[in-house]
A and B are shown apart, each in its own frame.
Chain A
């Protein structure tokens, strides 16, 4: 397991941008077998909130895929040991199917502090630009909105999308704004989504060997292009999450914006007049 954990710098990217892209994570033969299962062997929701390991089917391509050591290491790094199954879905955008504005945030408004669920988006076939892979707006995971009300953001600076080879997994914080794009090819596009919950605080589950790497400061400071005058508030939210996942409750950086709302001079420290 340990050799498959993500690094501290990758964790910082997840905290700042809300996602990680892992190219060709799943071998080609297994990806092909998963595609067959997605097309022909649908299964409905399992027992929401049950142990993932106990619940997830065994002896199937999709069962094997999410138990690959590299996938298990990724899951462990983000939600820790013994995650819970939340839901899954095989997403299909048929060849020639177009999409209008589709930006949304999944699920309900979630104000839980020091907590996040993950979604793994697995692309079993090559997904070129014309096929229209899922789009994400990195860094939006701390902005709670009501599901589809953000359709109104038809275009947004910083938007990325999954143009990727078969076997690629995007793992993302469920708060990230995202949507589907038009498929301008004659091939159907499949993406398999699996959502997982942690069972304990998500602290230092990743490889901490590079926890003091100075590049982490820059990664947390990433400007995705849309933040503008809001960047300071985004950075504060990222610092709060980084404090939690890295087990460094006093972490701050730069102008130390967190200090400006936490510093409270004590009465006994004031010299008597």
Chain B
């Protein structure tokens, strides 16, 4: 089976690669879409750097945000994210 791209996204409250993941998502082409989400109390790695030490490559890290007076206290989505990539062998979809 060919190797295809798996994506792991960490959502953080600071942009550092050592910032704890407070939310996370997997888009794993090797396994297909998630039709039955299993609860997870902890992320697969504490932070992006720990994932990198397990072979994940960083595709994107966040920039610091400029905060104007008008939007300085807006909340909205979680502010920062790191996108990680790893190639894994394709599996049959469940």
Contacts and interface: CB of A to CB of B under 8 A. Distances in A.
Contact of A155 (B13, B23, B33, B77): B23
A69 to B, nearest CB: 36
Interface string B35-62: 1110110010000000000000000000
Contacts of B34: 100-101, 154
Interface string B59-73: 000000000000001
Interface in A144-164: 144-145, 149-150, 152-157, 159, 161
Contact of B37 (A99, A142, A144, A145): A99
A145 B76 CA distance: 6
A210 B83 CA distance: 47
A261 B67 CA distance: 14
A143 interface: yes
Contacts of A99: 36-37
Given A100-B35, A101-B37, A152 B9 contact: yes
B26 A154 contact: yes
B23 A98 contact: no
A248 B75 CA distance: 23
Nearest to A229: B13
Interface residues of A, number: 32
B20 to A, nearest CB: 6
Which bucket holds chain B's interface residue count? 20 to 34
A232 B19 CA distance: 17
Contacts of A237: 73, 75
Contacts of A155: 23-25, 39-40, 43
B12 A228 contact: yes
A102 B36 CA distance: 10
B79 to A, nearest CB: 7
Contacts of B13: 227-230
A253 to B, nearest CB: 17
A143 B77 CA distance: 6
Contacts of B22: 156-157, 225-228
A145 B23 CA distance: 16
B78 A102 contact: no
Contact of A228 (B19, B76, B77): B19
A178 interface: no
A194 interface: no
Interface of A: 98-102, 142-145, 149-150, 152-157, 159, 161, 181-182, 225-230, 233-234, 236-237, 261
Interface of B: 9, 11-14, 19-20, 22-26, 33-37, 39-40, 43, 73, 75-79
